[in-house]
Structure 1
Amino acid sequence: MSLSFVTLGVGDAFSALRYSSCLALEAEGQVLLVDCPHPIRKMMREASLSAGVELDADRVSGLVLTHLHADHSSGVEGLGYFSFFVLKRKLQVLAHPHVAHRLWDGHLAAGMEDLIRKPGGEPQRHGFEDYFDHVPLSTEAAVRFGPFTLECRRTYHHLPTMALRIRAGGRSLGYSADTAFDEGLIAWLAEADLVVHETNYGVHTPYEKLAALPADLRAKMRLIHYPDDFALDTSNIEPLAQGRRYTV
């Protein structure tokens, strides 16, 4: 079966029009989320209706986190709790150790470490390993997870952030994650069959830099994480559409 993905969200942290950027990859019947903003189950439900692909938490085999900004990770607590209480299983979280370093203490612990397990009881202390299994990614070697093979590379952003190359079904997807313009990173991503690259203001990649890339590279590139005022109709690189299914 080929590698495909559904765009659950394509917007940035400040969007009033779109969900935050998030992809649901599928290969051999398994679903791998790339990032997890809130409200992740609503995002999956709406994308299921528009793309005609059944998506919900019970189909998620694993979650890849590129970094810990809220527009990429605010849904981890909810998905973790849903897995714990409803699905009765741990959520598999794939992240480079630099990304995962503060995932619990700096992000999730405040909402998840104290849990009342039965009415009238006292809160019990819980840790990351009660809800999640961490699958470390590496910049040195590819990591296999089900039908997916994942490679990562550090990007230039405010906090540890990893771009991805994900292979399955004989095809490969490159994903920039959040990054300033980086010719070395683009060359690394260009080895993939399809490249999804962000564009935005600040410590992100200006559209003008991507628009000046060679035509053959632009032809296999798609844009994500664009601001609400991005000129979709005049872009010479195809912007991803929220709620649509793409085959790599």
Structure 2
Amino acid sequence: MKLTVIGQWGGYPKAGEASTGYLLQHDGFKLLIDCGSGVLSHLQHHVEATELDAVLLSHYHPDHVADLGVLQHALLIQYFLGKNKGTLPVYAHREDPRGYDTITYKDLMEAHEYKEDTSLSIGPFTVTFVKAKHPVPCYGMRIEADGKSLFYTADSAFKESFVPFGKDADVLLCECNFYGEMDASNAGHMTSLDAGNLAQKTNAGKLILTHLPHFGELGQLVTEAKTIYSGEVLLAKKDMEVDI
């Protein structure tokens, strides 16, 4: 599997960049995970919108879905230009009916529901879900292919249930919206120490910090996570590519 960071900012994108979005590729299959503000613009440095095979959404906050409507328009315009290859499946939960109902669009995009207790086959990927601790319904996900695994926490405070769910994942893509000793739990987010703790408890092969804050010195997040986690810690950056 190859993971490409399209956007890594929490809340809103930094100038010239994007909020949450990741491209996961394996055996020629292209899966977009979340589709926040600015994601479609930067995605096109890697693949065209019509080349996507599926989209997977964690929840409906704008920094994770703001570009979904823009993606719909891209598919529509490319359809009129004769370049759209068909209906794009988008996998999402239905616990926010209004958000879920915005997904299906003409014959170009179709919503498919997932639930916490389901296991999905999306192309070469097997995807399982875990409920996050966030102000709105949100799900973390474990994505596996050919014996390799990615655990994406999405937006969440630390949860003990994440530990068995993410055990021995090759890559932990972990939200990190707060620094060290700050109180992030009431906001439904994690600190750098939470991320390091989760990586250590799950025995993750590698920790990537993402959903980054717009304040402070970001390198401090890595330093703090390393006080708990003994493995490699990376700070998510636009266009970063990681082989899993």
Please indicate, yes or no, whether the TM-score normalized by the shorter chain is above 0.5: yes
Give 1:190 deviation, angstroms.
2.9
Stretch of structure 1 that moved more, 230-239 or 135-144: 230-239
SS in 2 for 1:163: strand
- Structure 1: gaps spanning 5 or more residues: 49-54, 110-126
Query: Which of 195, 200, 217 is the equivalent residue of 1:231?
Result: 217
Structure ranking higher in helix proportion: 1
Instruction: Flag the 1:139–1:169 CA change in 2: closer, same or farther, 3 A.
Output: same
> In structure 2, the residue corresponding to 1:63 is in which secondary structure?
strand
Partner of 2:118: 141
The letter of the residue matching 2:242 is Y
Contact 1:176 1:189 in 2 (8 A): no
Structure 1 stretch 78-87 or stretch 10-19: which is displaced more? 10-19
* Greater RCO, 1 or 2 (C-alpha within 8 Å, sep 6+): 1
After TM superposition, the structure 1 = structure 2 runs for residues 161-240 of structure 1, keeping only pairs within 5 Å, are: 161-201=138-178, 202-212=187-197, 214=200, 217=203, 220-234=206-220, 235=222, 236=226, 237-240=233-236
Matching residue of 1:152: 129
**1:64 Cα deviation after fit:** 0.4
Deviation at 1:139, TM superposition (A): 1.8
Q: How big is the shift at 1:15?
A: 4.3
| TM-score normalized by the length of structure 2 | 0.80
Q: Percent identity?
A: 24
Following the alignment from structure 2 to structure 1, what is the Cα–Cα distance between the partners of residues 58 and 237? Answer: 21
Deviation of the 1:238 alpha carbon: 2.0
| 1:230–1:168 Cα change, 3 Å | farther
Residues 50 and 85, structure 2, Cα contact 8 Å, conserved in 1: no
- For 2:31, the equivalent position in structure 1 comes to 32
- Total equivalences in the alignment: 219
Contact 1:27–1:169 under 8 Å retained in 2: no
| TM-score normalised by L of structure 1 | 0.79
CA RMSD in angstroms, aligned pairs only: 2.3
- The Cα of 1:39 is off from its aligned counterpart by 2.9
Map of 2:98 onto structure 1: 102
Query: How many Å separate the matches in 2 of 1:183 and 1:218?
Result: 15
